[in-house]
Structure 1
Amino acid sequence: MALIKPRTLLIICGILSLAAIGCAWYLQHYKDMLPCPLCVIQRYAFLGVALFCLIGGIGNATRLGGVFGLLSALGGLGTAIRHVWVQAHPSVSCGIDPMETMLNRIITADLVPQLFKADGLCSDVHALLGLTIPQWSLVGFSGLTLLLLWSLVQRRD
């Protein structure tokens, strides 16, 4: 018998992902930390994890929700790694012109610009409790990846 059921793990991952999006929104609107294109991609990845995990956890599709949640977390993890690398090499750009234009043309950027409109620079470094925002995102996606892997390898009862 598992310590925590896969369904519960998925719901926890979904709630944690929504909390990460809430933190990003707070930092943007109350601490004036504008999101760059890589930040917005990470927000989409957190949203993907939240949607897949909550649908899989609430519905009866824990395996499917876990797999797609894991894929979203891995995409976010890769983006966060790239973002940390860009900030460590300030002369490198994240592709502001084409990537920002593309992201800002997605319908969610029009419907919810407060969350999905890219206005910042990837090389801008903002720290919170000793880590940069992309480093926190890297920690978050790493934790989600581990939790989702754990939920997928547990025996189903």
Structure 2
Amino acid sequence: MKTSKPVLVAVALASLGLLAYALYLQHAQDMLPCPLCIIQRYAFALVAIICLVFAFLPRNAVKFGAFLGALSALGGAGVAGWHLWVKAHPTVSCGIDPLETSLNKIPTAELLPFLFKADGLCSTEYAPILGLSIPQWSLAWFILFLLALLWAALRQQNR
């Protein structure tokens, strides 16, 4: 593999797949997304967009795109970590508050409410998926994306 483009495409497709699974959980399993879930969706979408755009740019731009994608994944990991902290401290809430109101006023939330509208509470407990909660899965995926994209950004070119 002479470039990091396949890594960017794989991360983008995985990110889009996770967004599709989030929509399945929301619309088929009635798991309403909270404000922190929506911010994580934005982070997954940003990772996917950055990776797709830079995967189709010239080779010298790919490393920069991988670095930008890694920064986006780091931000998403931070939000997922905060979400886990909120869930571990039931007295803290991110429910119906200014965060939810402001998130639901963003143009993307008004244009795509099925994807970006926050309706749930962060403290709501849903059944784990393969033993992990949704924020734990998000954190794991963001860390995986971060590592893969950092590897793609920092690896040496084979010439």
TM-score where L is the length of structure 1: 0.94
Dislocated runs of 4+, deviation >6 Å? none
Structure 2 matches for 1:1-157, cutoff 5 A?
5-60=3-58, 61-94=61-94, 96-126=96-126, 127-157=128-158
- Distance in 1 (CA, whole Å) between partners of 2:99 and 2:71 is 21
Say if 2:95 and 2:120, in contact at 8 Å, map to a contact too: no
- Distance in 1 (CA, whole Å) between partners of 2:49 and 2:156 is 23
Q: Output the amino acid matched with 1:102.
A: S
Does the C-alpha gap of structure 1 residues 27 and 155 become closer, same or farther in structure 2, counting only changes over 3 Å?
same
Match of 2:123, SS state, is coil
Q: Output the amino acid matched with 2:89.
A: H
- Distance in 1 (CA, whole Å) between partners of 2:77 and 2:91 is 22
Structure 2: where are the runs of 5+ without partners? none
Structure 1: where are the runs of 5+ without partners? none
Per-residue CA deviation, residues 9-51 of structure 1 (Å, 9 max, x unaligned), is: 1111111111111111110000000000000000000000000
- Distance in 2 (CA, whole Å) between partners of 1:114 and 1:59 is 31
Does the C-alpha gap of structure 1 residues 92 and 10 become closer, same or farther in structure 2, counting only changes over 3 Å?
same
- Distance in 2 (CA, whole Å) between partners of 1:59 and 1:96 is 42
- Distance in 1 (CA, whole Å) between partners of 2:94 and 2:67 is 28
- Distance in 1 (CA, whole Å) between partners of 2:102 and 2:72 is 20
- Distance in 2 (CA, whole Å) between partners of 1:67 and 1:96 is 35
- Distance in 2 (CA, whole Å) between partners of 1:4 and 1:86 is 43
May I ask how many residue pairs the two structures share in their alignment?
Answer: 155
Cα RMSD after superposing both structures = 1.3
- Give the fraction of aligned pairs with identical amino acids, expressed as a percent: 53
